[in-house]
Amino acid sequence: AQKITQTQPGMFVQEKEAVTLDCTYDTSDPSYGLFWYKQPSSGEMIFLIYQGSYDQQNATEGRYSLNFQKARKSANLVISASQLGDSAMYFCAMRESPAYSGAGSYQLTFGKGTKLSVIP
């Protein structure tokens, strides 16, 4: 089973509108971390926002906010007031404790990504 699912291969949004990018996850670890990254066509992976499993409030960073619904295992990224420069691939990623993931480190597991296109 996939640990990170991003169901939207591509999304379009009008400039200045808000957009929600979906992410669901699967883990039995009580202490996990969720991350969103942006990858423009130039290729660099840019860290956007982090949500810890024990955080009581939804994370926010400028125009980015994370709609964290723990019971539903959902961590959707909301971008407000979209700009042309927001056009990029967006990846949701999870980090689990090695004791639960079976991995040897706090490596990131990524979803397949959502390609966001902002229309002028």
Partner 1 sequence: GAGVSQSPSNKVTEKGKDVELRCDPISGHTALYWYRQSLGQGLEFLIYFQGNSAPDKSGLPSDRFSAERTGGSVSTLTIQRTQQEDSAVYLCASSLKGGNNQPQHFGDGTRLSIL
Nearer to partner 1, 13 or 93 (CB): 93
* DSSP tag of 99: H
**DSSP structure string for 2-54:** -SEE---SEEEEETTS-EEE--EE----SS-EEEEEEE-TT---EEEEEEETT
Closest to 66 (Cα-Cα) out of 84, 81, 52? 52
Give the shortest CB-59-to-partner 1 separation in angstroms.
Answer: 11
Nearer to partner 1, 13 or 66 (CB): 66
Q: Give the residues lining the site for partner 1 (CB under 8 A).
A: 31-33, 35, 37, 42-47, 50, 52, 91, 93, 95, 97-98, 103-113
Give the shortest CB-48-to-partner 1 separation in angstroms.
Answer: 9
Nearer to partner 1, 14 or 106 (CB): 106
